[in-house]
């Protein structure tokens, strides 16, 4: 309620520094893809705002952590990926003024736009786990969620001489929700292959109530955990970590929803940090209550501001936050944006597709593909719940090529996925 004795100050009028036809916030997987697709379809200026020097193929970091890829294989200079005809503004965005079609930048300057695409990804909240910032990257505390730390994961796995290994998964949202368990399987398999498995106790501790969000894949993953002799602890959330003392404290939610604090010793711990919408999006006029850009989950168009679109990890659409998802979202955004530019209502629709190649062993992958509503939608005519070498080849050879040479070049290659029912699904 307003107190009528108080005066309401009008929104500050900002001076627009420069005017762009299409402005893209974030030049990660989503930003580069959508810029490259758009460039060939529309006239007018397009600019990407991103302060980063480098661009990473983050799905490769699981393989960096397992010694299959080098870190260098997953990183390129951002400048080398900006599509021809697209301007790169090497700055950070800091605030949105959608009523005035203005984005504020961290250096205090502003940019005006006719159309805006917002895709700055997810923020890693290392500080939400007490003690983590102080010890990450040393004392056997590693994480595949940052490239340099993924290289340290491999160092830890290789030098492991026995004792306790823990792999953690925080509450949602996180990008690639399968990644925290992928590295657990690969670590166990590496120890088996090098004759050290007997000397290791391995535990997977996840805040979630199940191993995976799409039920038909759960039995295959339970079987993989059993085969690798990994102890699974559900509803178990990492609270704090003491690196030098090698102790991790977890909050365990019991069956009656009461909680118990449990301290576990470790010799190596792989931590997946809590994640959230970037701080500059939280509380902004274009975001929902959780801080994600408030879009229609099918059209990827903003629910209120029709000249704003979003895709990738920063969008509010309830899909699994993956490159696989934004690869399907990008053509939808482009079609609906072009329709909006022509004063039409876009009808292109994203079905919630996401994919997670779960590395159950070196050389074996359960290729989970699914859409909204937990429907299993494989691209290939094989049972996707079975770990396969062909899916390993897909992940290690084809998908990196698809990313760098097809998707980031703006080529829309959709092999097509189709719903498949499983009578024996859990």
Only segment of 67-75, 236-244, 292-300, 309-317 that touches ligand FAD (CB under 6 A): 309-317
Residues 100 and 14: beta-carbon distance below 8 Å: yes
By CB under 6 A, residue 177 contacts ligand FAD: no
Q: Which of 31, 21, 24 is nearest to 55 (CA)?
A: 31
* Residue 153 C-beta: closest distance to ligand FAD, Å: 10
Q: Cis link prior to 167 (omega < 30° from 0)?
A: no
Return the SS3 of 79. helix
Question: Dihedral of the CA atoms 111, 120, 294, 315 (nearest 10)?
Answer: 150
Nearest residue (CB) to ligand FAD, 246 versus 356: 356
Site string for ligand FAD, 263-282 (x = CB under 6 A): ---------------x-x--
Sign of CA dihedral 227, 172, 279, 352: positive
Assess whether 205 carries a catalytic annotation: no
Grouping H, G, I as helix, E, B as strand and the rest as coil, residue 395 is helix
User: Per this entry, what is the length of the chain?
Assistant: 426
Q: Does 352 bind ligand FAD (CB under 6 A)?
A: no
By the rule CB under 6 A, 28 interacts with ligand FAD: yes
Active site residue 142: no
* Least gap, CB of 134 to ligand FAD (angstroms): 22
Among 291, 357, 387, 410, binds ligand FAD (CB under 6 A): 357
d(CA 215, CA 204): 19
Does position 326 interact with ligand FAD (CB under 6 A)? The reply is yes
94 close to 81: Cβ distance less than 8 angstroms:
no
113 contacts ligand FAD (rule: CB under 6 A): no
Q: Which of 24, 38, 49, 376 binds ligand FAD (CB under 6 A)?
A: 49
Cα 33 to Cα 294: distance, rounded to the nearest angstrom: 20
Active site positions, annotated:
176, 356
For ligand FAD, the binding residues (CB under 6 A) are 25-31, 49-52, 58-59, 61-62, 92-93, 119-121, 144-145, 175-176, 179, 278, 280, 312-314, 321-324, 326, 355, 357
């Amino acid at each position: 309620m307003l107190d009528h004795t108080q005066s309401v100050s009008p929104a500050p009028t900002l001076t627009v520094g420069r005017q762009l036809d299409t402005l893209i916030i974030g030049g990660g997987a989503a930003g580069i893809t959508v810029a490259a697709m758009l460039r060939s379809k529309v006239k007018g200026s397009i600019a990407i705002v991103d302060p980063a020097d480098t661009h990473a193929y983050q799905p490769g970091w699981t393989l960096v952590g397992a010694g299959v890829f080098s870190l260098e294989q997953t990183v390129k200079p951002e400048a080398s990926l900006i599509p021809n005809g697209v301007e790169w503004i090497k700055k950070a965005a800091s605030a949105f003024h959608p009523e005035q079609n203005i984005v504020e930048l961290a250096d205090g300057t502003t940019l005006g736009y006719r159309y805006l695409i917002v895709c700055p990804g997810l923020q890693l909240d290392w500080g939400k786990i007490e003690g983590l910032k102080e010890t990450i990257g040393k004392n056997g505390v590693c994480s595949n969620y940052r490239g340099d730390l993924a290289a340290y994961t491999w160092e830890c796995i290789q030098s492991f001489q026995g004792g306790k290994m823990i792999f953690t998964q925080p509450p949602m949202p996180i990008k690639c929700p399968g990644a925290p368990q992928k590295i657990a399987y690969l670590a166990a398999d590496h120890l088996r292959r090098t004759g050290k498995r007997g000397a290791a106790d391995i535990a997977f501790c996840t805040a979630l109530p199940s191993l995976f969000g799409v039920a038909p894949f759960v039995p295959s993953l339970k079987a993989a955990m059993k085969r690798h002799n990994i102890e699974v602890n559900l509803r178990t959330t990492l609270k704090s970590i003491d690196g030098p003392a090698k102790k991790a404290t977890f909050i365990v939610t019991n069956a009656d929803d009461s909680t118990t604090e449990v301290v576990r010793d470790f010799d190596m711990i792989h931590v997946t940090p809590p994640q959230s919408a970037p701080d500059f999006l939280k509380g902004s006029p274009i975001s929902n209550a959780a801080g994600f850009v408030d879009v229609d989950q099918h059209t990827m168009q903003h629910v209120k501001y029709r000249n704003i679109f979003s895709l990738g990890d920063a969008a509010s659409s309830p899909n699994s936050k993956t490159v696989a998802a934004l690869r399907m979202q990008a053509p939808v955004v482009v079609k609906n944006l072009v329709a909006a530019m022509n004063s039409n209502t876009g009808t292109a629709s994203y079905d919630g597709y996401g994919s997670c190649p779960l590395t159950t062993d070196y050389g074996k992958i359960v290729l989970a593909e699914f859409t909204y509503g937990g429907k299993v939608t494989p691209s290939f005519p094989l049972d996707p719940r079975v770990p396969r070498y062909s899916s390993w080849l897909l992940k290690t050879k084809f998908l990196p090529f698809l990313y760098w040479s097809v998707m980031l070049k703006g080529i829309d290659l959709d092999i097509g996925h189709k719903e498949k029912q499983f009578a024996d699904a859990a």
